[in-house]
């Protein structure tokens, strides 16, 4: 299995631009998570999907952030407009189901720099 795939691996953009991060979960996994990692705040859960439906988006920082999962094999996290404080590493993770002590499998991350 190829594992969780994220693209792009690196993104540099200017403040105000739209940024779209992409994720392909492991085939057969029903749950997908988006995390953000920064030095100041550590690893934060942004949103969680189960069977393509958003279940918990309480971690989404503000309306500039949106996430979709149109099918079981693809999800996007969009930031519009982007701001310098959005600079971070964004991880996507998937698991066979949420809860129950299931292991989350992380992608390699997208390193975002907003100038």
Partner 1 sequence: AQSVTQLDSQVPVFEEAPVELRCNYSSSVSVYLFWYVQYPNQGLQLLLKYLSGSTLVKGINGFEAEFNKSQTSFHLRKPSVHISDTAEYFCAVTLVGGYQKVTFGTGTKLQVIP
Nearer to partner 1, 15 or 55 (CB): 55
DSSP type of residue 85? G
- Please state, in angstroms and rounded to a whole number, the distance separating the CA atoms of residues 21 and 110: 7
Q: Which 61-90 residues touch partner 1, going by CB under 8 A?
A: none
Among positions 29, 75, 107, 112, the unique one binding partner 1 when judged by CB under 8 A: 107
Asked if 5 is part of the footprint of partner 1 (rule: CB under 8 A), the reply reads no
SS3 letters across 7-38: ECCEEEECCCCCEEEEEECCCCCCEEEEEEEE
| Region of 15-23, 69-77, 80-88, 100-108 interacting with partner 1 (CB under 8 A) | 100-108
Q: How far is the CB of 26 from partner 1 (least distance, A)?
A: 12
Q: How would you classify residue 96: left for phi > 0, otherwise alpha for psi between -120 and 50, otherwise beta?
A: alpha
With H, G, I as helix, E, B as strand and everything else as coil, classify residue 57: coil
DSSP type of residue 4? -
Q: How far is the CB of 16 from partner 1 (least distance, A)?
A: 28
Asked if 49 is part of the footprint of partner 1 (rule: CB under 8 A), the reply reads no
Asked if 108 is part of the footprint of partner 1 (rule: CB under 8 A), the reply reads yes
Q: Which 16-45 residues touch partner 1, going by CB under 8 A?
A: 42-43, 45
């Amino acid at each position: 299995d190829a594992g969780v795939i994220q693209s792009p691996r690196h993104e540099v953009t200017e403040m105000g631009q739209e940024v779209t991060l992409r994720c392909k979960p492991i085939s057969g996994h029903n749950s997908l998570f988006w995390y953000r990692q920064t030095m100041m705040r550590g690893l934060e859960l942004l949103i969680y999907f189960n069977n393509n439906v958003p279940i918990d988006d309480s971690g989404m920082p503000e309306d500039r952030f949106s996430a979709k999962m149109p099918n079981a094999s693809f999800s996007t996290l969009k930031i519009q407009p982007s701001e310098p404080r959005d600079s971070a590493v964004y991880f996507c993770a998937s698991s066979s189901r949420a809860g129950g002590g299931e292991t989350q499998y992380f992608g390699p991350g997208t390193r975002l720099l907003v100038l």
